[in-house]
Structure 1
């Protein structure tokens, strides 16, 4: 990361949505590195520097986590619960980025501590605009809580 910029963590299992998100960020001028994990367990391994992500210990946490809800192994609500339950990650900005239109998912997301809930737009043009606005707010306007380097695995 040049200039100490913290990456975006995208937690998304659908390869088409990953590709669409990365292209939308690029087209919207969001130049921040995006790290991608494809299931809930891997998201927690990334955040807590476990398993294949142990080398991340001591590096800065992501600037924001973009979290899908429907994930293999551990769903997005459970990932959010683990993030908020741990003092090392409880202040990390989490934006739920989901195609779910279920009101229950929105209520559970905010109730679980999500900072924002964004429904994935259907059209590419709308998705690019949503990506631009997400990047502008979370990477440029939001001051954010103070962060420490990634904590490393629990002993």
Structure 2
């Protein structure tokens, strides 16, 4: 599947809400969900670089492998030919804690998004994110994995 989005979310209710938002935005087939950070890293280690997601939506506060650890791992796995990490990873969180926001950017997040409480706004956010990352953004070709 090309132009897909990976959601890394350890809360089943939040993952279901995101699935519903993607479905309401007409993008259900574009979403894959990893139930935690370990599952996301396992999945992306198995995927050829050419079929990686156009965007990863990452929960920041997860049990086990937290958002910062996932960012570290994925930045190592996906680099362009110059060795720079290019995979867009947006933290999608209900937290508005300034420390979480600063830590996410310091760890290399491409974006920090507050998860809207209103479902219609969440659908709009999903649609806008996909429109940009899936349709308009162009990434450099990743280097061959060793």
TM-score by length of 2: 0.85
Write out per-residue CA displacement over residues 34-74 of structure 1, whole angstroms, 9 at most, x where no aligned residue: 2211111111111222xxxxxx3576111111100111211
Query: Is the Cα contact below 8 Å between 2:88 and 2:110 reproduced in 1?
Result: yes
Structure 1 position 10, deviation (Å)? 0.8
Question: Where does the alignment leave 5 or more consecutive residues of structure 2 unmatched?
Answer: none
Q: Distance in 1 between matches of 2:106 and 2:71?
A: 10
Q: Which residue of 1 aligns with 2:9?
A: 12
Q: Classify 1:27/1:81 alpha carbon distance in 2 versus 1 (closer, same or farther; 3 Å).
A: same
Write out per-residue CA displacement over residues 70-98 of structure 1, whole angstroms, 9 at most, x where no aligned residue: 11211011111222234548211101111
Q: Does 1:77 align with 2:74?
A: no
Determine which of 134, 137, 140 is the counterpart of 2:132: 137
Question: Where does the alignment leave 5 or more consecutive residues of structure 1 unmatched?
Answer: 50-55
Structure 1 position 148, deviation (Å)? 5.7
Determine which of 105, 129, 146 is the counterpart of 2:141: 146
Q: Does 1:60 align with 2:51?
A: yes
Structure 1 position 6, deviation (Å)? 3.4
Q: Could you say what secondary structure the match of 1:84 adopts?
A: helix
Alpha-carbon RMSD across the aligned residues, in angstroms, is 2.1
TM-score by length of 1: 0.81
Aligned positions, number: 142
Q: Could you say what secondary structure the match of 1:26 adopts?
A: helix
Determine which of 86, 91, 94 is the counterpart of 1:91: 86
